[in-house]
Structure 1
Amino acid sequence: MTKLEKDFEFLKRIFKKFFDRNEIKSKLNQFDELSITGWEIWLQVELMIYLNSLPDEVSEFSREIRYDLDKRKNKLRDCCAIDLLIRQKKAHSPIPIEIKQHRSASECIRRMLSDIEKYDQIRESNRPTDRFLWCLGIHSKVEDETIRKYLRDFDSKFVFTYPIPKTEFMITLF
């Protein structure tokens, strides 16, 4: 199994377990009932607490780490932040993850794709890892085919969708 495949399987497993937790589903349902938006930072913090409970799988994690952008690729901004870095046990480098949340699946995925462009603008010598960037999106449930249509340029082998049980939300990882 390649490093990319191992990272994908690892992230699918931990994110599925995280979103299957009753306390997370309860909060998501409250956000839905009260039409609360903008809970991305809450999600990052909850994920960090969860990652801390996995000492056999995760050796290190951090959030909102800033990196200098390559001035040749972006003349308007000096730096950007990666939402989450997770280093697996026995891994030499962390997995970078960008997290997005939006009620609309299409808007959520559009923002995730924008994060990939942002990551590509980080100065090569400043990149935190040799691993690929992964994007995790939380949005309203839609048909799997809809997500695949939005991500038609991506290898479907590395696109994971998961309707979160007993909620109106689903996750998309690519």
Structure 2
Amino acid sequence: MADYHVDFRTIKSIMKLFLDQPEIINKLRYINSKKIGDWEKWLQLELEYFIQELDGIEVERELHSSLDKRMDKLKNNAFVDLIFRKNKTIRNSYFFVELKCKPNPMSLLDAMEEDWEKVRKIKSNAKNYNMRTCWFIGFYQDTTRYNAAEIKSHSKLWFKRHNEIINLCQCELKEGVDLLCEHSKIGMLILGHPVRD
């Protein structure tokens, strides 16, 4: 059985390392400044490439999976954005990761809940990979304090949650002064849920 606390730390650590890259921050600043809305595939590719370069981790993108017909009579298949496993862990035991990019936290939460509904209907996949734990990682562009409070209250339903505002600005920070640069922040939300509820 997977340890959700350990896996949560792993997910947060990978995302911190990913966001510590100056070129990723530069690209996120560009996306934010242009108000680009359809950047989820870019995020999938960048994150897959980044994880594959880490020692001791194997990763795949767009895992084809079959849905349980008892839970979804309309759809036969779904795709999981990313899966990965650490070497020297249980064989065929993978982190399943769904990625989302939305303009505001509430639309992001709605999309993550839709993804949770999809993931919980997965019966099997082409390679018989088992879901160790399931994570939903999303980015949102509206980082106002009102939305931050709202997202905190709405994400309580999740087993694990982490909401963070990422600084995209290259200006020198002064203690106690909010960033005034336009497009200087982006929000990241990580949610985790037990594989079966």
TM-score by length of 1: 0.89
Q: Provide the secondary structure at the position in 1 that maps to 2:132.
A: coil
CA distance in 1, matches of 2:108, 2:32: 16
Greater mean deviation of Cα atoms: 83-92 or 140-149: 140-149
CA distance in 2, matches of 1:50, 1:160: 21
Measured after TM superposition, the shift of residue 65 of structure 1 is 0.6
1:136 corresponds in structure 2 to 137
Q: Look at both structures and tell me which one has the larger radius of gyration over its CA atoms.
A: 2
Q: Assess if the C-alpha contact under 8 Å between 2:161 and 2:189 holds in 1.
A: yes
- The one-letter code sitting in structure 2 at the alignment partner of 1:80 is A
- The one-letter code sitting in structure 1 at the alignment partner of 2:106 is S
Q: Assess if the C-alpha contact under 8 Å between 1:20 and 1:165 holds in 2.
A: no
Greater per-residue helix proportion: 1
Q: Assess if the C-alpha contact under 8 Å between 1:70 and 1:122 holds in 2.
A: yes
Is there any run of 5+ residues in structure 1 with no aligned partner, and where? none
Greater per-residue strand proportion: 2
Q: Say which of 143, 154, 160 aligns to 2:158.
A: 154
CA distance in 1, matches of 2:100, 2:158: 18
1:170 corresponds in structure 2 to 187
Is there any run of 5+ residues in structure 2 with no aligned partner, and where? 169-183, 192-197
Measured after TM superposition, the shift of residue 152 of structure 1 is 2.3
CA distance in 2, matches of 1:113, 1:135: 9
Q: What does the per-residue CA deviation read over 1:75-102, in whole Å, with 9 as the maximum and x for residues that have no partner?
A: 1111000000010132221100000001
CA distance in 2, matches of 1:147, 1:128: 32
**Could you tell me the percent identity over the aligned residues?**
29
Q: Assess if the C-alpha contact under 8 Å between 2:66 and 2:76 holds in 1.
A: yes
- The one-letter code sitting in structure 2 at the alignment partner of 1:160 is H
Measured after TM superposition, the shift of residue 4 of structure 1 is 1.1
The equivalences for 1:37-76 within 5 A come to 37-56=37-56, 58=57, 60-76=58-74
RMSD: 1.6
CA distance in 2, matches of 1:120, 1:32: 32
Q: What does the per-residue CA deviation read over 1:42-90, in whole Å, with 9 as the maximum and x for residues that have no partner?
A: 111111111122114x2x1001011111111101111000000010132
The equivalences for 1:63-142 within 5 A come to 63-92=61-90, 93-123=93-123, 125-126=124-125, 128-140=129-141, 141-142=143-144
Q: Provide the secondary structure at the position in 2 that maps to 1:172.
A: strand
Q: Provide the secondary structure at the position in 1 that maps to 2:55.
A: coil
Q: Provide the secondary structure at the position in 1 that maps to 2:69.
A: coil
TM-score by length of 2: 0.79
CA distance in 1, matches of 2:33, 2:189: 22
